[in-house]
Amino acid sequence: MSRHLKIAAAQLGPLNLADTRTTATKRLVKMLRDAHSMGAKFVVFPELAFSTFFPRYWYEDQAETDRKFYEATIPSAETQPLFDEAKKLGIGFYIGYGELTQEEGRTRRFNTSILVGPDGTLVGKYRKIHLPGHAEHKPKAKFQHLEKKYFEVGNLGFRVWNFMDAITGMMICNDRRWPEAFRVLALQGAEIVALGFNTPSENLDYPEPPALRVHHHLITAQAMAYQNAIWLVEAAKCGFEDGNRMFGHSLIVSPTGEIAAKSLSEEDEVICVNADLDLATDLKRTVFNFAAHRRPEHYKLIVERVGAEVTPADEP
Among 51, 199, 201, 244, binds ligand CDT (CB under 6 A): 199
Residue closer to ligand CDT by CB (options 47, 191) is: 47
Report the SS3 class of residue 28: helix
- What is the DSSP-derived secondary structure letter of residue 174? G
What are the distances in angstroms from CA 178 to CA 57, 181, 224, 280? Answer: 26, 6, 9, 21
Instruction: Please name the helix (run of DSSP H) or strand (run of DSSP E) that holds residue 8, with its range, or none.
Output: strand 4-11
The string of DSSP letters for 34-76 reads: HHHHTT-SEEE--TTTTS--GGGS--S-HHHHHHHHEESSSS-
| 192 strand-pairing partners | 168, 231
Say whether 26 is catalytic: no
Q: Which of 109, 145, 149, 237 binds ligand CDT (CB under 6 A)?
A: 145
Q: Does 65 bind ligand CDT (CB under 6 A)?
A: no
Write down the catalytic residue from 85, 99, 128, 269.
128
Which candidate in 147, 149, 173, 269 is catalytic? 173
Please pick, from the candidates 161, 197, 247, 288, the single residue that binds ligand CDT as defined by CB under 6 A.
197
Pairwise CA distance, residues 173 & 311, whole Å? 32
Do 217 and 249 form a contact (C-beta atoms < 8 A)?
A: yes
Interface pick for ligand CDT out of 38, 156, 204, 259 (rule CB under 6 A): 204
Give min distance, CB of 176 to ligand CDT, in A: 7
* 238 has catalytic annotation: no
By CB under 6 A, residue 11 contacts ligand CDT:
no
Query: Residue 97 pairs with which residues in a beta bridge?
Result: 112
47, 85, 99, 147: the active-site residue:
47
Distance of closest approach, residue 92 Cβ to ligand CDT, in angstroms? 24
Integer Cα distance of 268 and 68 in angstroms: 22
Name which position in 132, 152, 227, 276 contacts ligand CDT (CB under 6 A).
Answer: 132
Asked about 47 being catalytic, the answer comes back as yes
Name the segment binding ligand CDT (CB under 6 A); options: 36-44, 178-186, 194-202, 235-243. 194-202
Q: Which residues of the chain form contacts with ligand CDT (CB under 6 A)?
A: 47, 132-133, 145, 173-174, 177, 197-199, 204
Q: Which residues are catalytic?
A: 47, 128, 173
